[in-house]
Structure 1
């Protein structure tokens, strides 16, 4: 029987929350790689992932970049290893924001150890920045489509207050900037389906305000950690890095330059992923499944497989899921034996 093709998506920050506490213990207890990651953390004098994941209660410490980034990376990487390769062929890998570091490891552009070290180190480096934060705007309506006129109004307000795009996320837009600018911008917005949500503990990611983080990363992570990806790797611009034609210096430069300092266009990455590789399914790695809505909104905007509304997407997911979220127990068993 022919294998089904899958596009793998790696999640970013904000996907390990209270419901995900214990994810590593539930799904990856006894994993050799988890033991290695714990050892790397222990040698650096940091709390192990097993201890963080096995805590009796979810606390604000779990949301700090130095803990959240390696937790999310480990959950996603270990999920990736469990995809049934006898039944599924991975044709491309992408990720959202911090998920780019996980995507590098999944695609084989860096080793598993180096991938974890990058995710772990960037959890700390991401806290080095000029003052500022992020705010999430839901532009999509109840049907998960975006009114172009509303989008234009929001962009005009951004220009008036010097607020920058941070992540383009389907029917959502994450913006970033100094706190005072975000405060004034949020008061000047047209009516939205939901109030803007300021992300606690997040800096002005994917903007020039992250220059200190970029400088620290370039000094910490050498270019010789990078190699050509073994499977196509789609970055936050929609560029595809392919085996035999990718320059590792350029991949290193993108990872610790543009990827940190410029907007991350997850919408473009997903659009290229589905159009260029036409996968039979999309597999969203755990933990959590908050990225599922954004992926659904991209499919609707592109009318992929004639899916043109939220109700059509929901119906398709109920019949034979195109999007498989490994953070959902009901869908996990589709691709993991």
Structure 2
């Protein structure tokens, strides 16, 4: 099936556009209209991201006011993918996590036209909220975004005691009473004796899915995704937390600036500043389980044979739109090299991980 890339027509009154531009760090939205197909939506729009707000091509958060939902979503994110020369790393990552059995946002490339001016190619990301759960027919439960590096599952940050165990998290869905669930999780992570850790932590976290997330983060080499760029969802039926990846553009061999990262930059067992990952890897039975999961992924999913079709089809679908992107049309040579670059990264990264697994006991 061909990968269709629709156009979204955004209309913002000049005074509201001036207000939006007036303060890059203001999260308060301004009103606008968004036309998709034959339907025009009243929306609120604001900038999103952190350092990306300073870039020429901005990313946006859009909330639907009337009608109140769009494609079963109340809110979407439009990522500029400005530093990714391939435009596909985020989508490629989320598709990969989905194949690993990990909850991940849906994504779709679109063309954005603002007040009649073509603003280029964007990646539409599904928001992780109650609509995310409803679409998947999952039981409702609180969701927390890890918004900064304090979300490291530890009592400490940079050798300093945190003021709050909730530091680094923002509740995206749920009530204040749900915070006790997250407080209890972080407290247990830091107090359970290592001898009992496997049994006790399995009552709090879906271990299989967490280790699959870890394997996915390690394979894609998301260097900054271990202490933020994820969400936590508490499944009210299983009473277990599940982890959901978020913002995976700095992957597949490139960092947040779009520069090359060596294929061995991120260790086999992830970054040790994620205290939960560190503890899990100190438990022999969980370490063995992670090894078997990673071995399976390296043989079946994290291979050029498995990934190349998706890489090439996405690249071919996006190419005509990159040609018209006012911010990217002059980097076509680099864009055309990216499928080869990503495939070579997969080969090099897989070879490195397999060698490291030999003595990973």
What band does the TM-score fall into relative to the shorter chain? under 0.3
Higher strand share: 2
TM-score (norm 2): 0.25
TM-score (norm 1): 0.26
Q: Which has the larger radius of gyration?
A: 2
Higher helix share: 1
